[in-house]
Amino acid sequence: MSDHDEAKHGLRDRVVGTWRHAVDSAKDSVGDLINSVDADLLFDTGDDIVDTKAPKVDIAQRWDERKFSARLVNPANRRKLSVIIVGTGLAGASAAATLGEAGYHVTSFCYQDSPRRAHSIAAQGGINAAKNYRNDGDSTYRLFYDTVKGGDFRSRESNVYRLAQVSTNIIDQCVAQGVPFAREYGGLLDNRSFGGVQVSRTFYARGQTGQQLLLGAYQALERQIAAGTVTMHTRHEMLELVVVDGKARGIVVRNMVTGEIETHTADAVVLASGGYSNVFYLSTNAMGCNVTATWRAHRKGAHFANPCYTQIHPTCIPVSGDYQSKLTLMSESLRNDGRIWVPLSGEDKRDPREIGEAERDYYLERIYPAFGNLVPRDIASRAAKNVCDQGRGVGPGGLGVYLDFADAIERLGRKSVEAKYGNLFDMYAQITGENPYETPMRIYPAVHYTMGGLWVDYDLQSSIPGLFVTGEANFSDHGANRLGASALMQGLADGYFVLPNTINDYLAAGPFAKVDPADPAVAEAVDLVTSRIDKLLSIKGSRTVDSFHKELGHIMWDYCGMERSEEGLRKAISRIRELKTEFWSDVRVLGTGEGLNQALERAGRVADFIELGELMCIDALHRRESCGGHFRAESQTEDGEALRHDDEYAYVAAWEFAGEDRRPVLHKEPLVYEYVELKQRSYK
């Protein structure tokens, strides 16, 4: 083993921690068992599903046609209809504000102490829109094309086209709200580029785009709260969905301050509860992000689509030790001006500033000359992993590559670089103690976003009538890989423009009978919540919730992370099943249910993550192709690129929960491409 390998494994051992040695031997026997099980025996296959809501007209007319064909609710009747919205990030706050403004009775929930603390506030780099302000050849079709190609041809054409159409409205809406987008000297809105595209269509507010957009949506929401159309419940966590006569009619929440269990009912429910990257324990997401809202809905009948599609972001600050509970993103916008490289030789351990141009490998520029440092995230992440696997990684353990601004500073001047990226540079300096104006940043891929989520049709309605899903919580428009700056676009498209034009079609069937608080469906949902809390508090085992979460995260990263294989995924499934049994017999949750209890909150979330983790691995195992962020070691081209198998896997995998201890049921929604030619992606 070379010095480099030793150092790398040394760090890895520290990072992975000692827990693994203890659990490995116990789990090998189960691993053997699973290895002998065919992947297809882990699930059943149900009927194919189709999205019937997208009109069968030319793609450019579909959204207009749907808006016209959707039934309307007149303003007087809107006042008689109610909607619950879980989530106050960009997707939830924009929807609540818009539906409130339209006159519906909206009840809004979040688990933070203020709606504006939603994870969306952390978004840094920007939001896409096909405005073509740069006159560089952008168009609705190009944004549509880039997004379908970027998602490795695994997204629905109708939805993506609509997203591209609506993108331009979002910018106008936000400017009208006063969102301070960056401007050029002449006063026009500025743009920059993000990965996977060759035009500049990303609107931004320094490195704080999410914060500024969320403040805009939050103000619109607060206006409706003051007007009385929206009732806000902060510090309330949804723990169960109420389904009456097959329709979503309410939620059960826990007041996180008093511990009280409350039931809220309405005519429709919207989940805008964000993504589930924290199943990996370490991710760039806010610590509180979790899957509980969507997972509970899944268990009540909502299909979960493409759970294995996870995005690993190439530019994060590398892991530095096993005490860490969070990873920090360095925005993709930095790849506009920063150049990524490693030393040509793995033996070269000099200060990067002493390494000459000829001794550097700007590997993205070399391998992908057409897109260079702005290849999509899945490709940039894998390329970083490859050079580190070759022993050419930098920093402790060799798990890092350089992101270098020396050229940009020389070309543009330090002031200009500071104006564009100053807050990101400060963040990097505070976390690492290194000055990125003087020495290159060190970055490494980390889990960042989840393209999977609850299955929705063109109207954003899930497989449970009356349950709508928006933003990162739905399986959305990004296929197997999301392009940078497209999540904010999708969240706001859903909340400001799409949902308000589709949910009325469902609500027009009202007025609906009030839900009787004594309805057995309500009692059952409340009972599920209270008995689960009681069970968690009664186990009084020996392991902390965090130790289970951390272990799950390691399993997911090792076997369902940047590279997945048949053998690894089988192993992961067996280990996760073991972990679930251990969790429910040995977790230690201190305190009581009456009042603030963060260990209890986390325990419920981790229990759901464990179940989700298993489904993610089953999904990844059954998809024996590589596509986007889902890289199967067995399915690659000669030069190591993802190799799709369109003849077998050009479908959305929508999973149905069949019951406790029953195999999940796979429903396929075939993906039909009429406006984009299916081909092997190339960024060369």
Binding site for ligand FAD (CB under 6 A): 86-92, 109-112, 118-120, 122-127, 209-210, 237-238, 272-275, 284-285, 289, 292-293, 329, 331, 448-449, 471-473, 485-488, 491
- The first and second tokens of residue 424, run together, are 């990101």
Query: Tokens 């428009």 appear where?
Result: 477
Using only C-alpha atoms, what is the Rg of the chain? 24
Q: Report the half-sphere exposure of 172 (CA within 13 A, side-chain side).
A: 8
339-343 vs 360-361, strand pairing mode: antiparallel
Query: Tokens 């809406």 appear where?
Result: 173
Rounded CA-CA distance 193/202 in Å is 6
Identity of the residue, 140 or 278, whose beta carbon is nearer to ligand FAD in the bound complex: 278
Identity of the residue, 255 or 439, whose beta carbon is nearer to ligand FAD in the bound complex: 255
Distances (CA, A) of 591 to 378, 499, 533, 597: 42, 41, 12, 7
Report whether 202 contacts 491 (CB < 8 A).
Answer: no
Q: How far is the CB of 419 from ligand FAD (least distance, A)?
A: 17
Q: How far is the CB of 233 from ligand FAD (least distance, A)?
A: 8
Apex 54 CA angle, 242 and 455, nearest 5? 35
DSSP secondary structure string for all residues of 104-120 = -EEEEE-SSSSGGGSGG
Rounded CA-CA distance 21/101 in Å is 57
Q: Residue with the closest Cβ to ligand FAD?
A: 89
Rounded CA-CA distance 468/85 in Å is 9
Q: How far is the CB of 637 from ligand FAD (least distance, A)?
A: 29
Report whether 647 contacts 625 (CB < 8 A).
Answer: no
Apex 67 CA angle, 66 and 72, nearest 5? 120
Q: How far is the CB of 496 from ligand FAD (least distance, A)?
A: 12
Q: How far is the CB of 660 from ligand FAD (least distance, A)?
A: 21
Q: By CB neighbour count within 10 A (0-12 exposed, 13-18 middle, 19+ buried), where does 172 fall?
A: exposed
Going by the DSSP 8-state scheme, the letter that residue 333 receives in this structure is: G
Going by the DSSP 8-state scheme, the letter that residue 279 receives in this structure is: G
Amino acid in the structure at residue 221: L
Identity of the residue, 404 or 472, whose beta carbon is nearer to ligand FAD in the bound complex: 472
Report whether 93 contacts 214 (CB < 8 A).
Answer: yes
Our answer to whether residue 79 is catalytic in this structure is no
Q: Which among 266, 294, 268 is positioned nearest to 279, based on CA atoms?
A: 294
Report whether 375 contacts 368 (CB < 8 A).
Answer: yes
Identity of the residue, 191 or 486, whose beta carbon is nearer to ligand FAD in the bound complex: 486
Identity of the residue, 82 or 490, whose beta carbon is nearer to ligand FAD in the bound complex: 490
Identity of the residue, 409 or 473, whose beta carbon is nearer to ligand FAD in the bound complex: 473
Rounded CA-CA distance 280/558 in Å is 10
Q: How far is the CB of 125 from ligand FAD (least distance, A)?
A: 3
Q: How far is the CB of 129 from ligand FAD (least distance, A)?
A: 11
Identity of the residue, 191 or 284, whose beta carbon is nearer to ligand FAD in the bound complex: 284
Q: How far is the CB of 7 from ligand FAD (least distance, A)?
A: 29
Q: How far is the CB of 123 from ligand FAD (least distance, A)?
A: 3
Identity of the residue, 273 or 381, whose beta carbon is nearer to ligand FAD in the bound complex: 273
Rounded CA-CA distance 550/605 in Å is 13
- The first and second tokens of residue 575, run together, are 């280990």
Identity of the residue, 238 or 480, whose beta carbon is nearer to ligand FAD in the bound complex: 238
Q: Report the half-sphere exposure of 419 (CA within 13 A, side-chain side).
A: 10
Helices and strands of the chain, counted as H and E runs: 20, 20
List the catalytic residue out of 66, 142, 206, 377. 377
Going by the DSSP 8-state scheme, the letter that residue 37 receives in this structure is: S
Task: Enumerate the active-site residues.
Answer: 377
